[in-house]
Structure 1
């Protein structure tokens, strides 16, 4: 429904459990208890009790997706998903507003091939409100939809399509689907549909879609969290019992459409390197062979220890990355290989190496050790997904909708547990030994007017199975005494936040340990935090900090990169290293049952990095490819260009905010540079160890003492970072960056703002949320809802110890670039002038911030994130526990003052990435200020 670019997104992707990596648990021990019942109108309800937090996840799944769209009606399922957020007959305004007021989290809607779902996690006391809202749009929507609403969401969806296709490789999936499935297959087209069909959608069409598919009998609702089945039955009957079942829905039948011959296609795109994608059609989700093929995918291309990664990246050095995975759907699945070819390498050499490894796998099969590691990753990834009630609701809903069994995951886990090398090999031979489609995407210029895929795709097939209607049943409604005319139920009480008290200890060498106990799942999170970050690159080669951190798990004095990866997978440990603007860190997520060996591996990685020349060369190649990729992405280009312009030469923040450095600096990095950074910053006297999860201070401090207590710092002092004061620009500046053929322009305007550590940080945050930080903010309601020139617009304050950047952000359709700049500027001027934030705008944000607290810390990872902020920004240990009172105590006058302190329209530096042949003249005509043209490195070219 709504997303910003990947850099700004706060959303969470819930992948299938096979995709996640973690420690295995026996399948028999994994359980999500539930009770299932059905209302007389056919609505299916699944209830899972979990009282660890006072929240309930509401997950509403309609069994309809893009696979159900008839010819020339592509994109209807997704378009209708958007219309469901327009308001209903008894709530005639944005669907998001009531949910913002009660502090809903994890709220959105999505459309896939086989279903459309809507979901939110709300405080327990707001459950009636959530069910009223969901039932009102299910049973009372049609009269609230008119042509204005349709036209608005049509425009928003078309900008979503433009935004997606404007990304590198953004048109690949459309090509794959057209060439993977026959023209009459439900999966032949992608979910978002064609511009032509979206333009042709009429009001009568979309209303008929609702009548055909949005009945109660075609719906499953999962309630997971702080609720009982008895209460669920009462409330579901109250709110949904009078909604008609709807007409019977014909179910599309499984159609794998496996191919017997190999075919090829080519595509030119604005990309940094050649990518090869190969696809096979395989059985649908729920098929007995699906878990076996998932194991095969992991062995072939599931990370560093996989066969193809080892051959192409480590051994032959032909590729920067390779992956193999499955996209499971209800009618068929896609088994895909993806290889990013190293610049300068002939793609044919890569294909030959892939073919050799593929054939070797099909001849010999996987080893037992490979199967064991792959099974461990799959099973434990599933276990970790159970921490949040929203994750459990997805598992139960998908089982019910696709397989009429909320516990279908148990079958999959049992099949996974029973897999053998022989059974995996047999499945691979049957499904991935022939019939692939290979698409090669090469760098080049894209025809701006070319909206369709390069290939017409497969022709229709005579083998299409006919959709089948379910067994006829009689449904009935129950008369309701609910008075909907009184509007959305008021929520007057809210549960209190539960957040663990922080406990502190010290190791023998003085390293401080900070612990938050959380015993919900048997997992312990560690984060060793160093005061450094991208800002520590100052006086060094740009990218040194991030590159050094990334090299920590690439080899120790006793283990090479692959040995580390194998141990990590066998233990089920998740190990990560990296940097942000002000800090670098090494983190470990370990299963309690494997805590000691996991901590031993973690210690070795952190204390004994080898920085071997061969590993540096391999990572350097991948790093340079990443920088090249950033220079093909609109957001990456803007984030590389804007900060140096804002902060000026000599400032530690005057660097690309991606932290990746420049090609020249990365090319020149050597082991001595990495050792010097490690000596200066990644040291015990510059570290704090944060721990959250299933442990106690008495237990964990001795373990950490054994691991780190004898770690000694070098005698050299820790270098100081220059975070000196930067003055505001005296007048606006405009920098244009040409990206020929872009369907959209990315607008990023910035100015410097005070540090996150300032006393009025909460007031600044509240102001920013109302202006551009939430869905119903001024900027988004203007450019998305009112104008529908963008899929989403907003303002962002990146946290920083020094002066942070305020950035105004909007990807907009090309022909509305200048107009969008004018609207953003006007909104900024109004905020500090003629139209300051209203009491209701401020109260909306304060209410949302306070009431979302109980659901915001459901996961241990979220707890650890707050702990890091407490440490980095010098906050008191009870910061989270006292946040409610401080949010509520904010004064409107102080928030208005924060706006005037932070927002300076006359000092904005604008970076606009787009097709200059179409936007330069109109942008210059705005006369905002001096206009300069810059290249992908931020250098002025004219």
Structure 2
């Protein structure tokens, strides 16, 4: 669990979409793509996954791994501490994660860990805790590496003088709200039930990382100090530095900052392993969910076990591939389910093996379960085919290659090396694992599946109904009812604190200017513009075909049309079924997906450069020749209705889809922001309606192509011309969305949507700004919003999360559509503080800037910090593609990001405050609150805003 998540997205993407080609296209049938082996084999791809490194160990035991990657002037700083929730004693569940939060609260020489690094251009600092480890990450400009190492070493060696009872109490509140936020989601209590069912009381992997509320309440300052001294010594840490750095440069820096920290005690190895149940176990739960969810669960071996690669591939074939056994049999075949998955969640000493099915509404549960169990039983008996194994292997290795784009972060190259060292004693363990996966045979997979999945199963099923279990009491040791957890000793003394030496922070060296890749432009013979940014760091590319449509197009059709039409694109063409399309992608190591937003509908291809030609052929077939078969439409329509029901059961998603319809009214942006439409309109959609929408919106004169990755224009253009060049626009005029239509006058009020038994409320406040995305010179507003609410260090988050402890994270955002922009604040808060939280949000907004002007520190953070952080924004091909596409949509020049430093430096305090006064005061705000009415409504009545009770759509 990370300290600060990506908060609730207000404008949700169009649910997995797909689109259909113009009916008048008369192209020759596209041949089925050649087998992947014709271009590149999985075995050959394993050699492409290479992260060279050097390793050294200090006298105090700190292990450092250095990987050099000069593609950008940034360094990923990744620390893995060998301690996680499995090390927690009875009565202290959730403590490793609570401590992770405290680790960001400052140290002896660093009053605030986030401010200096973000001002230096770092990515947001973050951390996460799981069963086996706690990790901390940031990716910094090369010139800020010295500062980052100073700060990491100060909290490793000298944290405790800065840890106070006040900080403990506040972070305890934050973590408890993180737990409530997870519990509040549909199926949010299932994890507790699975862990409880798989492992006996006292097993280190039984209790969840988040723990129980009671144990979190019991944590004391003495516990904090003991946890630090017992677990946070340098000999229990792996430090990975990856990016614009080498070992010769890194070693003296690491010695300088970490060398004097004394060695700590070794963390004792926890004895834990998989557990075989004595007999099958079944547990049923009722919850406020729209669909019955059926699961089958086993514990399995840890990540170093010889069977683990086979189990990972075997479960991927069962329920991970787009063409999985469960998908083909239960979703596309018998149509008993709307969603299925299977996976192996692997940890150091055990794994969670599972298969899951969401039963289709109207289907008898017993019938669906019987079919579900039969697919699993047949698969265990027969095993996978050679083709299934190869497709799964190709997909897995292609994904690993994609991971090479990032040097830092939770899943970048630094994390890969650190995990190999921590879990396997070998930073290059990933190579051993990939080689094992590439060499797998169907018989090896079948044998491993039979060994582990033929044991007694734990069935945990969640049925629609009233929530009867209390998540606050779940997640702990498990025997609290009969053996209360030990209480803290009020007379115990905290360990004595050694005085911390004074250590001044080093300066930040000059940061290199952003080197945004050059953009080449061309045009197909039918007029489709093409933009290419060549990047050769990994042998992959991302290609996006954008159409001027988006869910705003539903204003001219029916709500939900664009989403369902796009979803249908890879559900069958005139020559292939959905399964055949999925299998073709898997053989190529490619992925064709669809999506978009308010203005744009998109079809996206990611593929290996060696397989670009056959991947483009497949993409063209999907875009230009979808079949819209009646039975496929009926099936996918039911899936969209199920998605809609799930969204309406999720408090955050429900609030997000509701606010735009309230703010924009009949404007095209007044569609539900997830693009799913409403149940009545979706049920009425027919194959003919979807075909008409496809022909209306997916046409070459509404299209643009953006490509980023390892190819050249000379290689790319002929392939694009062959795939899309003969596509001619219809004679009908292009459709025009009324983006310039008026929006309703502001009507400030609170709309309460009742969700009984919710431990949290989700508050979303919004208003439409008198701005459009095409208006120039709005950078001052963006910076003002960063001060107010956009980011961890924003005023709203620091107030409601860090100071008051009422929320796991608060954020404000400003949309960037072509038409009128929307300002919104998103705040999940504990139910009993809903009214107080709204008061605090209003007070913070009113104070900015009149009573609380921009400080010098805030101004430096949002200007110089953004400038120094520019190289961090464009590390992956997808990052660059997103920037090119956004520039094109908003009419910005190709060199926009190269010129942004001068723009930011020209924005002083006065301009920033003027933007805040003009756009960010709370006048005109409409609040949507999703929470328990009986708890929340009394709190809202005294806020001075009209309160109306909204209705959740059926």
TM-score, length basis structure 1: 0.93
Show the 5 A alignment for 1:425-436.
Answer: 425-436=446-457
Match of 1:896 in 2: 913
Which of the numbers 102, 112, 117 marks the counterpart of 1:83?
Answer: 102
Check whether the contact 1:655–1:661 (CA below 8 A) recurs between aligned residues. Answer: yes
Could you tell me how far apart the structure 2 residues matched to 1:765 and 1:185 are? 49
Could you tell me how far apart the structure 2 residues matched to 1:417 and 1:509 are? 42
Residue 672, structure 1, aligned to residue 688, structure 2: yes
Match of 1:469 in 2: none
Check whether the contact 1:741–1:915 (CA below 8 A) recurs between aligned residues. Answer: yes
Could you tell me how far apart the structure 1 residues matched to 2:592 and 2:632 are? 18
Match of 2:442 in 1: 421
Match of 2:539 in 1: 522
Check whether the contact 2:290–2:649 (CA below 8 A) recurs between aligned residues. Answer: yes
Q: CA deviation at 1:48?
A: 0.8
Match of 1:43 in 2: 62
Q: CA deviation at 1:832?
A: 4.8
Q: CA deviation at 1:309?
A: 1.1
Q: CA deviation at 1:213?
A: 0.3
Could you tell me how far apart the structure 1 residues matched to 2:150 and 2:621 are? 54
Match of 2:707 in 1: 691
Could you tell me how far apart the structure 2 residues matched to 1:29 and 1:515 are? 23
Deviations 1:293-324 (A, max 9, x none): 01110121113311111111111111001000
Residue 651, structure 1, aligned to residue 679, structure 2: no
Match of 1:463 in 2: none
Residue 52, structure 1, aligned to residue 71, structure 2: yes
Q: CA deviation at 1:592?
A: 1.0
Residue 716, structure 1, aligned to residue 716, structure 2: no
Q: CA deviation at 1:131?
A: 0.2
Match of 1:705 in 2: 721
Residues 914, 76 of structure 1: alpha-carbon distance in 2 compared, 3 angstrom cutoff: same
Match of 1:137 in 2: 155
Residues 764, 110 of structure 1: alpha-carbon distance in 2 compared, 3 angstrom cutoff: same
Show the 5 A alignment for 1:339-488.
Answer: 339-390=357-408, 391-447=412-468, 451-453=472-474, 485=502, 487-488=504-505
Could you tell me how far apart the structure 1 residues matched to 2:47 and 2:537 are? 19
Residues 702, 508 of structure 1: alpha-carbon distance in 2 compared, 3 angstrom cutoff: same
Could you tell me how far apart the structure 2 residues matched to 1:848 and 1:444 are? 49
Q: CA deviation at 1:773?
A: 0.1
3-state SS, counterpart of residue 916 of structure 2: helix
Check whether the contact 1:182–1:458 (CA below 8 A) recurs between aligned residues. Answer: no
Q: CA deviation at 1:347?
A: 2.1
Match of 1:813 in 2: 830
Residues 851, 204 of structure 1: alpha-carbon distance in 2 compared, 3 angstrom cutoff: same
Q: CA deviation at 1:923?
A: 0.4
Measured on the aligned residues, the alpha-carbon RMSD in Å equals: 2.0
Q: CA deviation at 1:734?
A: 1.1
- Between stretches 734-743 and 543-552, larger displacement belongs to 543-552
Instruction: Give the count of matched residue pairs.
Output: 903
Match of 1:146 in 2: 164
3-state SS, counterpart of residue 404 of structure 2: coil
Match of 1:122 in 2: 140
Q: CA deviation at 1:937?
A: 2.6
Show the 5 A alignment for 1:776-925.
Answer: 776-925=793-942
Larger RCO: Structure 1 or Structure 2 (Cα < 8 Å, ≥ 6 residues apart)? Answer: 2
Residue 70, structure 1, aligned to residue 89, structure 2: yes
Residues 770, 878 of structure 1: alpha-carbon distance in 2 compared, 3 angstrom cutoff: same
Residues 522, 452 of structure 1: alpha-carbon distance in 2 compared, 3 angstrom cutoff: same
Could you tell me how far apart the structure 2 residues matched to 1:654 and 1:610 are? 30
Could you tell me how far apart the structure 1 residues matched to 2:471 and 2:502 are? 49
Match of 2:32 in 1: none
Q: CA deviation at 1:331?
A: 1.4
Check whether the contact 2:752–2:928 (CA below 8 A) recurs between aligned residues. Answer: yes
Match of 2:27 in 1: none
Check whether the contact 1:182–1:459 (CA below 8 A) recurs between aligned residues. Answer: no
3-state SS, counterpart of residue 816 of structure 1: helix
Could you tell me how far apart the structure 1 residues matched to 2:705 and 2:92 are? 55
- Between stretches 352-361 and 82-91, larger displacement belongs to 352-361
3-state SS, counterpart of residue 451 of structure 1: helix
3-state SS, counterpart of residue 92 of structure 2: coil
Runs of 4+ in structure 1 deviating by more than 6 angstroms, as ranges, are 454-460
Q: CA deviation at 1:880?
A: 1.7
Which of the numbers 312, 316, 328 marks the counterpart of 1:310?
Answer: 328
Which of the numbers 319, 341, 348 marks the counterpart of 1:323?
Answer: 341
Which of the numbers 317, 332, 354 marks the counterpart of 2:350?
Answer: 332
Show the 5 A alignment for 1:733-752.
Answer: 733-752=749-768
Could you tell me how far apart the structure 2 residues matched to 1:578 and 1:502 are? 24
TM-score, length basis structure 2: 0.92
Q: CA deviation at 1:449?
A: 5.7
Q: CA deviation at 1:733?
A: 1.1
Q: CA deviation at 1:894?
A: 2.1
Could you tell me how far apart the structure 2 residues matched to 1:923 and 1:23 are? 62
Which of the numbers 206, 217, 239 marks the counterpart of 1:188?
Answer: 206
Residues 414, 668 of structure 1: alpha-carbon distance in 2 compared, 3 angstrom cutoff: same
- Between stretches 635-644 and 815-824, larger displacement belongs to 635-644
Check whether the contact 1:399–1:407 (CA below 8 A) recurs between aligned residues. Answer: yes
Could you tell me how far apart the structure 2 residues matched to 1:435 and 1:393 are? 39
Check whether the contact 2:192–2:475 (CA below 8 A) recurs between aligned residues. Answer: no
Could you tell me how far apart the structure 1 residues matched to 2:845 and 2:469 are? 32
Show the 5 A alignment for 1:231-246.
Answer: 231-246=249-264
3-state SS, counterpart of residue 570 of structure 2: helix
Check whether the contact 2:108–2:159 (CA below 8 A) recurs between aligned residues. Answer: yes
Check whether the contact 1:296–1:428 (CA below 8 A) recurs between aligned residues. Answer: yes
Q: CA deviation at 1:28?
A: 4.0
Residues 877, 455 of structure 1: alpha-carbon distance in 2 compared, 3 angstrom cutoff: closer
Could you tell me how far apart the structure 1 residues matched to 2:678 and 2:349 are? 46
